[in-house]
Chain A
Amino acid sequence: MADRYGTNLTRLVEEHPLNAALAWGCTAITTAIGVVALVSGNLTWGLTVLVVALLASLPGPLYGSLETTLPWELVGMVLIACGWRMIEPTSEAALFAVIAGAAILIAAEIHLFTRTRLSHRFVVALVAVATAAVAGAWALLSWGADAFLGTNYITTNAELMQDLTVAAFVGIIAGFLFDVYVRYWEGRFDVLTPTLEGRGDRE
């Protein structure tokens, strides 16, 4: 199941009532955070959280079984990041932790639902890279908005550089945490679910 590119990720989805209950609970709280943000007028942040909640709830419906979810620990980590940003709305570290969490969910679902197969080490690198890339793309989009829409997102170079630096480090830390998690959890579950196309290795 493992080669030098890392552990196989097929087991990132599992069918287990307790796991499902915990994962759906975390997803529900995440959704609540998103709705509260939307209602209080914070559109971008609210939508971001709702997209994250949607990502977390995708596997159940796609596998046609609500007891099939991502491991609850992953969904829980993303919830913690969202909660952190809710409590500290100005924390860029919290924001990029949410982005990194979303990157992990997206990577897992790309692996589970498309022809693409990823190993856990690949995801570690991908999460670090994607978080930094999103920060860069976001900076460019904000700059465009400032120029053409008259907004004022980007103020000083020091502030921009702090955001980019934080994003770069948070991405790397998130990748590291995912690595630790996969190593810890490898072999913990017996119930395996093959990927949707049925090409996943089933032991």
Chain B
Amino acid sequence: MREGDEDLQRASSAAFPHGRSGTVARAMQGMILLAMAIGALNGSTSVLVNAAGGLAVTFAPAALERDTRVSMDPRLSVWLTAAVFLHVIGALGLPLIEGTLYGSTWWWDHGTHAASASLIAGVGYSLLRSVDEHSEQVELPPGMTFVFTLLLVLAVGVYWEVLEYGIGHIQISGESPLTQYGIRDTLEDLAFDAAGGFIAAVLGQMWLLGSHGN
């Protein structure tokens, strides 16, 4: 099969996920939608904004594949939906526990940061592979792809903290959608971003060297 056909097939399978990964992704999107409704009913703008924003993000891979030649592994969209799901569930007040998972479970924030960072690494890695394949001018040996993936993960972590800091100054009906709890929180976020991204980049590297034998 020609490379282009394969790309096209992969693109369509991500835009219309089917099989087990599609069902899992749809189920999590449904629960995020439910969280959005709960946020609206409880009058919690923070939950509403995070769930709505998150839900929009889960549709990004399909949109990206439709509009560009970049093709993504369908598993990436499940991974993405899972990261958003963990974030939204953490911000939601749940029965049986006091307050939210972010507030009551000390490692929840670390977990979501590591999960999102591994996702950024996965997406970044796929983008770099695709640029390497599609551009005649760009050639990226595996070692460079690894380094660039790590840089991207750290940078996105920094952009996220900057965004969080900026949004922390915006109040919507008395509460802010995202909060920074202080210097320790910022640095721990960055540390878990780096760790999650590093692990994902190493796994990606091992997969690449294993399957392409470079």
Partner-B contacts on A (CB < 8 A): 3-6, 8-9, 110, 114-119, 122, 126, 128-133, 135-137, 139-140, 143, 154, 156-157, 160-161, 164-165, 167-168, 171
Q: Which of B151-171 contact A (CB under 8 A)?
A: 151-152, 154-155, 157-159, 161-162, 165-166
Q: How far is the CB of B159 from chain A (nearest CB, A)?
A: 6
Counting residue pairs across A and B whose Cβ atoms lie within 8 Å, the total is: 100
Given contacts A161-B162, A161-B165, A168-B159, contact A116 B140 (CB under 8 A): yes
Contact B158 A164 (CB under 8 A): yes
Chain A residues closer than 8 Å to B70, beta-carbon distance: none
Kindly provide the distance from the CB of A143 to the nearest chain B CB, expressed in whole angstroms. Answer: 5
Chain B contact surface mostly: helix
Cβ-defined partner of A129 (8 Å) among B135, B139, B151, B165: B151
CB contact under 8 A between A168 and B194, given known A116-B140, A119-B138: no
Using known A-B contacts A161-B165, A165-B162, determine if residue A136 contacts B141 with beta carbons closer than 8 Å.
no
Question: In chain A, what residue has the closest Cβ to B152?
Answer: A129
- Distance (whole angstroms) from the CB of B110 to the closest CB of chain A: 14
Contact B180 A161 (CB under 8 A): yes
Chain B interface size, under 10 / 10 to 19 / 20 to 34 / 35 or more: 20 to 34
Tell me which residues across on chain A come within 8 A of B6, comparing CB atoms: none
- CB-contact partner of A5 in B135, B154, B162, B166, under 8 A: B135
A116-B144, A154-B183, A156-B183 known; A135+B158 contact, CB < 8 A: yes
Partner of B139, one of A115, A139, A154, A165: A115
Of B131, B134, B162, B185, which contacts A164 at CB under 8 A? B162
B182 within 8 A of A: yes
Chain A residues with CB below 8 A from B131, complex form = 5, 122
Chain A residues positioned under 8 Å from B187 (CB to CB):
139-140, 143, 154, 160
Q: Which 8 A-B pairs have the closest CB atoms?
A: A133-B154, A132-B155, A5-B135, A157-B183, A117-B139, A119-B137, A129-B155, A133-B151
Which residues on the B side are within 8 Å of A129 (C-beta)? 148, 151-152, 155
Whether B155 lies near A133 (C-beta < 8 A) is yes
Assess A137 versus B137: contact at CB under 8 Å? Given A122-B131, A157-B183, A157-B186: no
Task: Take A129-B151, A143-B187 as given contacts and tell me if A136 and B158 are in contact as well, using a CB distance cutoff of 8 Å.
Answer: yes
**A17 CB → nearest B CB, Å:** 29
B136 within 8 A of A: yes
Q: Which residues of B contact A137 (CB under 8 A)?
A: 154, 194
Q: Return A159 CB to nearest CB of chain B, in Å.
A: 9
Q: Which residue of B lies closest to A1 (CB)?
A: B137
- Chain A contacts for B151, CB-based, 8 A: 126, 129-130, 133
- A–B Cβ pairs within 8 angstroms, 27 of them: A4-B135, A5-B134, A117-B138, A118-B137, A119-B135, A119-B137, A119-B138, A122-B135, A122-B138, A129-B151, A132-B159, A133-B155, A133-B158, A135-B158, A136-B154, A136-B155, A136-B158, A139-B190, A157-B182, A161-B161, A164-B158, A164-B161, A165-B162, A165-B166, A167-B158, A168-B158, A168-B159
Is B191 an interface position by the 8 A CB rule? yes
Q: Are B139 and A136 in contact (CB under 8 A)?
A: no
